[in-house]
């Protein structure tokens, strides 16, 4: 249980999870295409839920990039990292990614209580908020499409 209390360890687990899931999904898609002896494009056009899942999985790569950007800058809950983790918790719940939600929650809970004293550059904030906006738009579109299926 102490694993979930140390921020560096839980960050590595979250980082590994957001890296491993897209790789495993890509391998699964390639194996499925090979077994059925059809192209990946045909699989994605014939199975819409698989296409939506691929979009959600590819969003994890963007989330991984965001974690890489803001992960080493701060260690407090009331910082850009804390806000990014809260944003990702909501996104993971909307896409029904329960393990991702739990890893984000454990990482957030392992951060120190308090406010970050160092001021981040505007470019760093702009990059992080642009990334969160992009992830939000794609997530909302995926959820709306999923509800209409």
Q: Is the pTM here over 0.75, yes or no? A: yes
pLDDT at 30: 94
Count the residues in the chain.
Answer: 149
The predicted-structure confidence for 119-132, as pLDDT tens digits, reads as follows: 777 888 899 899 99
Cα gap 133→48, rounded to integer Å? 25
pLDDT at 100: 93
* Residues in Cβ contact with 31 at an 8 Å cutoff, skipping those fewer than 6 apart: none
Query: Pseudo-torsion of CA 18, 20, 21, 24, nearest 10°?
Result: 160
Q: Which residue has the higher pLDDT, 71 or 61?
A: 61
Cα gap 64→71, rounded to integer Å? 10
- For residue 28, give the H/E element and its range: helix 7-36
Q: What is the DSSP letter of 117?
A: -
Identify any residues that bridge with 78 across adjacent strands, giving them in sequence order: 115
Helices (H) and strands (E) in the chain, counts: 6, 2
The predicted-structure confidence for 6-29, as pLDDT tens digits, reads as follows: 778 888 899 999 999 999 999 999
Locus of tokens 């579109």: 141
């Amino acid at each position: 249980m102490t694993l979930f209390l140390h921020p560096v360890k839980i960050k590595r687990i979250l980082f590994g999870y957001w890296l491993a899931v897209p790789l495993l999904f890509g391998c699964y898609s390639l194996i499925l295409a090979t077994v059925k002896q059809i192209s990946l494009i045909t699989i994605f056009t014939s199975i819409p839920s698989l296409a939506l899942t691929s979009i959600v999985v590819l969003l994890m790569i963007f989330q991984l990039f965001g974690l890489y950007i803001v992960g080493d800058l701060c260690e407090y809950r009331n910082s850009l990292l804390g806000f990014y983790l809260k944003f990702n918790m909501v996104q993971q719940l909307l896409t029904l990614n329960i393990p991702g939600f739990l890893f984000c929650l454990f990482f957030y809970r392992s951060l120190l209580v308090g406010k970050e004293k160092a001021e981040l550059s505007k470019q760093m904030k702009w990059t992080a908020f642009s990334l969160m906006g992009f992830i939000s738009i794609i997530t909302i579109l995926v959820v709306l499409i999923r509800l209409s299926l």
